[in-house]
Amino acid sequence: MPKESNKKPIPVIASFNKEGQIMPIYIQVEVAPIKLLEVTYCNEYADHYFYRVSYVLHNFLMDAYLYYYFDKHVWMIEE
C-alpha cells in the first residue's frame, strides 16, 4: 500500500463502464456509505486513477481527492 502521510485507505463502491473505466459512486468516511454528489475531474496515470469528488457530510459540502492504485487494488482519500 502507498505510504503517503496525507492519504488514508477508504472503502469505495465503484462502477465500470463498457470500456473498463472505473468511476467511484459511494465512499465510506464514517459508518455508512455516502453517495458522491459529483466527480469533477478524473485522470489516469501509470499506476493509478485520480479523481476530484464532492459529497455532503453532516450538512457540509466536502471536496476530496480519491486515488485508485492499480497494483494494490486500494482506494485512498486525501481531504
**Number of domains into which the chain is organized:** 1
Q: Record the cell numbers describing residue 5, joined without a space.
A: 502521510
What whole-number distance in Å separates Cα of residue 24 and Cα of residue 22? 7
Q: Is residue 35 part of a domain?
A: yes
Range(s) of the domain holding residue 49:
8-78
With respect to residue 66, please indicate whether it lies within any of the assigned structural domains.
Answer: yes
Residue 3 lies in a domain: no
The verdict on residue 24 lying in a domain is yes
pLDDT value of position 64:
96
2 in a structural domain = no
Q: The whole model's pTM is what?
A: 0.86
Task: Give the tens place of pLDDT for each residue, 45-57.
Answer: 999 999 999 999 9
Closest to 1 in 3D by CA, of 9, 65, 23: 9
